[in-house]
Amino acid sequence: MSYGNLFLYLFMLSAFVSVAAMLFTRTIFFAALSLIVCLLSISGIFALLNAEFLAITQIVIYAGGVLVLILFGIMLTNKISGKPLLMEAHHSIPGMIISIVLFLLLVDAYQKTSFTATESIQLQSNHINHIGTNLMSTYVAPFEVAGLLLLVSLIGAALMASLTKKNNNA
């Protein structure tokens, strides 16, 4: 077993352990922290599989962006209201049904995917250029649609924030 494989299994293990910790801890802050560990492990797996751009994007968007916002939200509600935020189990039967359906879907998708090695882009120093060129040529429609969606949500968020302010003043 090579060192690369060893690290791959270590990252998988830590992703699994951190997800389990996230599900079973009661304090929501610890749950968010274990989610960060999980996302970092996944980005480590990406990096070992030669998808360095994907690995870094994972850190930028999820670990550095989304999770910081989540932590920020938890802190604002938790410490300032004075009550600790704990996780409780509600709706156990619908939740169980949804998770079983989701699991079956994932198993189905897993079986339908062929995991034979795809023709990978050779390890060249400028593979970030390939990603850029492809985003702006082959995949330009989804790229622009995603950009539009983000812009709409940005404007919506700004509008909602300004609306509450006016209501408070009135």
Partner 1 sequence: MFATLFFFLPFLVVYTILVVYAERKISAFMQDRLGPMEVGYYGILQTIADLLKLLQKEDIIPTSASKKLFQLAPVLIFVPIFIGFSMLPLSPSWSAPSLSSALYFIFAIMAFDVIGIVIAGWASNNKYSMLGTVRSAAQIISYEIPLTLSVLCACVLTQTLELQEISFQQGTMVNMIQGQSNYLLGIKQLNIDVTLNGGFLTWNVFRMPVLIFAWIIFFIASLAESNRAPFDLPEAESELVAGFQTEYGGFRWAIIMLAEYAMMLLVSFIGVILFWGSWNTPFPNIGSIRLADWTTGSLDTWSVHAWGIFWLVSKTLFMVCLQIWVRWTYPRIRLDQLTSLSWKYLTPASLILIIICALWKLLL
Residues in 133-162 at the binding interface with partner 1, rule: CB under 8 A: none
The CA-based dihedral angle spanning residues 117, 118, 124, 130, taken in that order and rounded to the nearest 10 degrees? -160
Helices (H), 25-51: 28-48
Report phi then psi at 49, rounded to 5: -90, 20
* CB atoms near residue 59 (< 10 Å): 18
Query: Which of positions 17-56 make contact with partner 1 (CB under 8 A)?
Result: 29, 33, 36, 52-53, 56
Show the tokens assigned to 114: 């062929």
Say how many residues touch partner 1, by CB under 8 A. 26
- Smallest separation, CB 23 to partner 1 (Å): 19
Pair 27, 84: CB distance under 8 Å: yes
Show the site string, 75-104: x = touches partner 1 by CB under 8 A, - = not: xx--xx------------------------
Judged by beta carbon, residue 69 or residue 89, the one nearer partner 1 is 69
Residue 72 or 139 having the CB closest to partner 1: 72
